[in-house]
Amino acid sequence: MAVLRAIVQDFVETSEPVGSRALLERHNLGVSAATIRGDMAALEEEGLVTAPHTSAGRIPTDAGYRLFVDRLASIKPLRPAERAAIAEFLRTAVDLDDVVDRTVRLLSSLTHQVAMVQYPSLTRSTVRHVELVPLGPTRLMVVLILNTGRVEQRVVDSPVDLAGADGEDRLARVRSAVNAIAVGRGLAEAAAGLETLPDQLEPVDRGLARTVATLLDEALVEEREERVVMAGQANLVRGNEFRSGIGEVLEALEQHVILLKLLNQVGPDGGAVAVRIGHENPYAGLHSTSMVTTAYGPADETLGGLGVVGPTRMDYPSTMAAVRAVAAYLSQVLAE
């Protein structure tokens, strides 16, 4: 394991096959060159390293990287200065779009890989508040605010006059009734509850309540495409890691459905970080890559996933630490 660890570390750093002499010079393994050569031969026989050509040093295989990752005793945490910078950068975002954009750019910058962040999933969202804002005597803006910070706004013609004290009182009653039903519920549950809202109110308020309920029903249950935001695609062409296979990788990354499936396979499990190496990725276009992903969300609630894609020659400990840290701070920001 010590020899395998040394080969992985040297190859990640230099991108050159690693020989026994280099291992002796760079690592204090405490054994002879003959012992190292014997260990390298044993690793090759087990399929954990391979020689790219005759008389060359060794490079890790996908199986070698997997064993290296599985044997990591712990993920080294980021330095305090790095953690403080991440927290400050995300907390100064102005809205959800800005939070997601900052997160993906930050993750790409920290790892030097392609970063991806899934927008908070609407299927896992709950209603935080519904606001009714009069825009005139007969125009009404309905504002739906979700627990993720996502905001939907719709404008509709009001069936009743909203001006004056009577209009304000009517709006207050309908607003209170809507929030009593919807707040804290998932979108489908809230939509179902609002179907009976008009019948629960006095006749004078039913027309306005029916209009608001219909509008919210459309906003709550209409089909929405889940979104993945990416940054750092230029990192793929640095170092000539993929050679002729770069087109297949880029084509796979353009398929957001694929990325969403991979991100949604990551459970909260205490902030666990998942690593898929080479052919462990279920899509052929990503067989030359590694993916490091995790879930984010406040407490035990999963709102989405984030992670990075890069070559299998990746600094796994640092990448895993960055992915875990960014997910933790994103979760904190969304919980505030």
Q: Which of 3-7, 87-91, 191-195, 223-227 has the highest mean pLDDT?
A: 3-7
Q: Supply the pLDDT for residue 236.
A: 84
Among the three residues 183, 206, 221, which one is the final residue of a domain in this structure?
A: 221
Mean pLDDT for the stretch of residues 116-143: 87
| Rounded Cα distance, 99 and 251, in Å | 27
Indicate whether 223 pLDDT > 70: no
* Residues 240 and 116 reside in one and the same domain: yes
Mean pLDDT for the stretch of residues 121-148: 86
Indicate whether 89 pLDDT > 60: yes
Q: Report if residue 277 sits inside a domain.
A: yes
> Burial letters for 279-317: b for 16+ Cβ neighbours within 10 Å, e otherwise?
ebbeeebbbbbbbbbbbbbbeebbbbbbbbbbbbbbbbb
* Residues 327 and 237 reside in one and the same domain: yes
Beta bridge partners of 293: 274, 307
Mean pLDDT for the stretch of residues 275-297: 90
* Residues 208 and 256 reside in one and the same domain: no
What's 235's DSSP letter? Answer: G
Q: What is the pLDDT of residues 5-63, one digit of tens each?
A: 999 999 999 888 998 888 988 888 888 888 999 999 999 999 999 988 766 789 999 99
Residue in the block written with tokens 């907390």: 91
**Tokens read off for 40:** 């390298």
Q: How many alpha carbons lie under 13 Å from residue 315 in its C-beta half-sphere? A: 13
Q: What is the CATH number of the domain that holds 255?
A: 3.30.450.40
Mean pLDDT for the stretch of residues 234-242: 75
Parallel, antiparallel, or unpaired: how do β-strands 274-277 and 49-50 relate? unpaired
Q: How many separate domains does the chain show?
A: 3
* Residues 39 and 131 reside in one and the same domain: no
* Residues 249 and 164 reside in one and the same domain: no
Q: Report if residue 260 sits inside a domain.
A: yes
Q: Supply the pLDDT for residue 243.
A: 59
Q: Report if residue 172 sits inside a domain.
A: yes
Q: Report if residue 286 sits inside a domain.
A: yes
Q: What is the CATH number of the domain that holds 166?
A: 3.30.390.60
Q: Supply the pLDDT for residue 266.
A: 63
Q: Supply the pLDDT for residue 222.
A: 53
* Residues 212 and 257 reside in one and the same domain: no
Q: Report if residue 75 sits inside a domain.
A: no
Indicate whether 316 pLDDT > 90: yes
| Rounded Cα distance, 262 and 293, in Å | 9
Q: What is the CATH number of the domain that holds 44?
A: 1.10.10.10
| Rounded Cα distance, 209 and 214, in Å | 8
* Residues 245 and 283 reside in one and the same domain: yes
Indicate whether 123 pLDDT > 70: no
302 pLDDT band, cuts 50/70/90, is confident
Q: Supply the pLDDT for residue 43.
A: 95
* Residues 41 and 136 reside in one and the same domain: no
Q: How many alpha carbons lie under 13 Å from residue 223 in its C-beta half-sphere? A: 1
Q: Report if residue 111 sits inside a domain.
A: yes
3-state secondary structure 18-67: ECHHHHHHHCCCCCCHHHHHHHHHHHHHCCCEECCCCCCCEEECHHHHHH
Indicate whether 265 pLDDT > 80: no
* Residues 258 and 318 reside in one and the same domain: yes
* Residues 275 and 324 reside in one and the same domain: yes
* Residues 237 and 271 reside in one and the same domain: yes
Q: pTM value?
A: 0.76
**Tokens read off for 118:** 């899934």
Cβ-based neighbour number of residue 329 at 10 Å: 19
251 versus 7: the higher-pLDDT residue is: 7
* Residues 97 and 144 reside in one and the same domain: no
Query: Letter for the amino acid at 316?
Result: Y
Among the three residues 159, 192, 221, which one is the final residue of a domain in this structure?
A: 221
Among the three residues 221, 249, 283, which one is the final residue of a domain in this structure?
A: 221
Residue in the block written with tokens 């608001």: 212
Q: Report if residue 173 sits inside a domain.
A: yes
Q: Quote the domain boundaries for residue 294.
A: 80-121+226-335
